[in-house]
Amino acid sequence: MATDATDLFTEMFRGQAQQVTSLFGQLVPAEGTPEAETAVQWAEIASRMHSIWTEFQVEQLGKAKGTPHYADPMKWIATAEAVVRQLPFSDPQIQQRLWGEAVDLVNGVLGQYGLGPRAGLKQDNGEAQPELPRSDRRFADPEWRRQPFFAVLHQLYLLFADEVTRMAGAVEGLEPAKKAQLMFAARAVVDALSPANFPLTNPVALEAASRTKGESLVRGFENMLDDMRKGQLTHTRPGAFVLGENIAVTPGKVVFETPLYQLIQYTPTTDKVLKTPLLIFPPWINRFYILDLNAKKSFVRWAVEQGVTVFMVSWKSADAGMAGVVWDDYIAAQVEAIDHVRERLGVPSVHTIGYCVAGTTLAATLAVLARKGEADKVASATFFTAQVDFEEAGDLKNFVDDQQIETLGKLSPEGYLDGRYLAATFNILRGNDLIWSYVEKNYLKGEEYPAFDLLHWNGDVTNLPAGWHRDYLRDLYRDNRLVVADSMQACGVPIDLHRIATPVYIQAGSEDHIAPPQSVWKLTHYLAGPWTFLLAGSGHIAGVVNPPSSNKYQYWVNDARPDTLGAFIEGAHEHPGSWWPHWAEWLRALDSAEIPARGKRRPGGRGDKVIEDAPGRYVATR
């Protein structure tokens, strides 16, 4: 068996040598041959890359502040070692089984190419690609099957990846939280080790370099160094979007501001509007314009077109001056914004929306108002993918043990947490989609970045008050205190979610990996008033930002009041398309009274003193 394997790997490496020679062998052609001109081109490529690297090193002199924790390769190596130590790779039986499976896989794959002991497997299919036993969209390009070396390489990798994740799932004797961390780390490690992520093991990148005579290497190298300069992975074309010009463009005015937030009121487009206005609280982990990307995708514009007076909070990105900001301040800010809208328009109450962490905070705000006897200030509360019970909070719980929380303190010497750390954390949750696919496209192949508004928003990071963020991870994610009556306090009173009698609409995403639907569902367990639950197709963003005009996805509703999410799904009715109209009908059913869109319903009109045009200054603060 060993002899066969040696012969097989000899054939594999011969193929690899041929591929590399086709790319780099032109650097030293025989003098006087036609390849000499090409050699000059490759020498220029090498010289340009050396100059670019030298300039980058000179530029970075005196700037060094140490490698960020999330970008330190030694931390990733340590993570990989920690994973491997917990898996039984040293077990002789497992080693023998893996060796047998690997050799069998290699023999079977190479047999498709007429190589090795199973060469007879090759069929005369003309130009048809070999039929390989394992598939993965990362290796869908025909280049991965054109040569036997790369076919075997990615097939062995997929075998290894399956085995590592299987072993991690089979480890016994760990606490559930530690087991989940091990499985998450195992997936992250095997994703990072994909041969698609390295230039000499990625045939698509090698082909691009050969075809462009090295220009793709230069572009990719420049892309990588640009990201190293800013300490963040780029997902979309720099400069493609400008706030207020082609993104966040729904007309409106900033009508109020504090050191923590600006309040935007949008200009109505209908002659009459609902008497009760809508106040939206977006998460301060990201910029508010996820709900106002462009005219076709904007929830804000759509709601305005439905005759709703819409207000939006634009949170300020934290700086050193906000080091003392805590959760109380965000809850107090929500109460303040509610009161300001009520006073400005002369209405007794407002409809509210809380998205993600701002929804968690909105639940606390409702509990505080109920405790103070002021619950009638809020006519309704809608929760977009928001959690209050964090027992099943998904993969983010892998970042909230004592060690991770302690690390946050080291990352925040000035009292605020750099938003690039949070961006990296969320990217890791979907590493193949948000990290490694861009490494391949933009670093290895040197492709141009797309002009994609959602990806632009995703990379437009915000800083967070470090103390508050640590408290949030410890008290809510780790210790799950919010659902324990009177365990936490805000604005001088204890928080008890069971006091919330406000009509509530709860939206969850069926594929949400940040706020899993089974976690969002649990909000229904703590409400004293009427509630409606809706399960939307897709995830944390697309499940929310799904305008009717797109005709995408679906949603499920169940008019009964089931006790579990499973029972909800079992008895639910599926509806195609956007769930936004369902929400609008629910809102109007609460109170359909309308008034003319006059006076302060049109911000910035005669006698109405406003601060500036939407989207305001705070959304542009870095």
- pLDDT tens-digit series, residues 76-105: 555 566 666 777 777 788 888 888 999 999
Q: Which two tokens stand for residue 113?
A: 């190419």
pLDDT at 84: 66
Q: Please determine, for residue 466, whether its predicted confidence score (pLDDT) is greater than 80.
A: yes
Rounded CA separation 50/218 (Å): 10
Helices (H), 171-214: 176-192, 203-211
- β-pairing, 531-536 vs 504-509, is parallel
Mean pLDDT, residues 23-47 taken together: 59
- CB 464, CB 284: distance < 8 Å: yes
Choose the weakest-confidence range: 102-111, 323-332, 427-436, 478-487: 427-436
Helix (H, G, I), strand (E, B) or coil at 555: strand
Rounded CA separation 531/414 (Å): 42
- β-pairing, 504-509 vs 378-384, is parallel
Q: What is the chain's mean pLDDT, rounded? A: 87
Going by C-alpha positions, the residue among 56, 451, 15 that lies closest to residue 227 is 56
Choose the weakest-confidence range: 7-11, 150-154, 156-160, 224-228: 7-11
pLDDT at 68: 52
* 356 tagged catalytic: yes
What is the length of the chain? 622
pLDDT at 371: 98
Place of tokens 């005015």: 253
Residue 94's H or E segment, with its range, is helix 92-111
Instruction: Give 478's DSSP letter.
Output: I
According to DSSP, the residues that pair with 576 across neighbouring strands are: 554
Peptide bond before 603: cis, by omega within 30 degrees of 0?
no
- CB 148, CB 15: distance < 8 Å: yes
pLDDT at 182: 83
According to DSSP, the residues that pair with 353 across neighbouring strands are: 280, 382
pLDDT at 34: 54
- DSSP letter string over 300-335? HHHHHHTT--EEEEEEPPP-GGGTT--HHHHHHHHH
- CB 399, CB 46: distance < 8 Å: no
Main-chain phi, psi angles of 444, to 5 degrees:
-80, -40
pLDDT at 20: 44
pLDDT at 121: 66
pLDDT at 483: 97
Angle formed at CA 307 by CA 303 and CA 311, multiple of 5 degrees? 55
Of these residues, 182, 183, 356, 534, which one is catalytic?
Answer: 356
pLDDT at 592: 97
Mean pLDDT, residues 372-382 taken together: 98
pLDDT at 24: 43
Choose the weakest-confidence range: 42-56, 344-358, 377-391: 42-56
How many Cβ atoms are within 10 Å of 535's Cβ, its own excluded?
A: 25
Q: Please determine, for residue 531, whether its predicted confidence score (pLDDT) is greater than 70.
A: yes
- CB 350, CB 276: distance < 8 Å: yes
Tell me the pLDDT band of 6, cut-offs 50, 70 and 90.
very low
Mean pLDDT, residues 547-557 taken together: 96
pLDDT at 55: 81
Helix (H, G, I), strand (E, B) or coil at 593: coil
Tell me the pLDDT band of 549, cut-offs 50, 70 and 90.
very high
pLDDT at 535: 98
Tell me the pLDDT band of 27, cut-offs 50, 70 and 90.
very low
Angle formed at CA 198 by CA 192 and CA 200, multiple of 5 degrees? 150
Q: Which of 17-26, 72-81, 399-408, 490-499 has the highest mean pLDDT?
A: 490-499
Taking the CA atoms of residue 428, residue 431, residue 434 and residue 435 in that order, the dihedral angle to the nearest 10 degrees is: 90
pLDDT at 435: 86
Q: How far is CA 188 from the centre of its chain?
A: 15
- Percentage of the chain beyond pLDDT 70 is 87
- CB 500, CB 363: distance < 8 Å: yes
Q: Which two tokens stand for residue 452?
A: 């994609």
pLDDT at 35: 55
What's the farthest any 2 CA atoms get from each other in the chain?
Answer: 92
pLDDT at 430: 78
pLDDT in tens, 294-329: 999 999 999 999 999 999 999 999 999 998 999 999
The contacts of residue 294 (CB under 8 Å, 6+ apart) are 246, 247, 249, 453
pLDDT in tens, 185-222: 888 888 988 999 998 899 999 999 989 988 999 999 99
Burial readout 379-409 (b: 16 or more C-beta within 10 A, e: otherwise): bbbbbbbbbbbbeebbbbbbbbbeeebebbe
Going by C-alpha positions, the residue among 172, 169, 181 that lies closest to residue 404 is 181
According to DSSP, the residues that pair with 612 across neighbouring strands are: 254
Q: How far is CA 432 from the centre of its chain?
A: 11
Rounded CA separation 390/93 (Å): 40
- CB 389, CB 479: distance < 8 Å: no
pLDDT at 181: 80
Q: Please determine, for residue 589, whether its predicted confidence score (pLDDT) is greater than 90.
A: yes
Instruction: Give 450's DSSP letter.
Output: P
- Burial of residue 518, with CB atoms counted within 10 A of its CB: 0-12 exposed, 13-18 middle, 19 or more buried: middle
pLDDT at 544: 97
- β-pairing, 464-465 vs 489-490, is unpaired
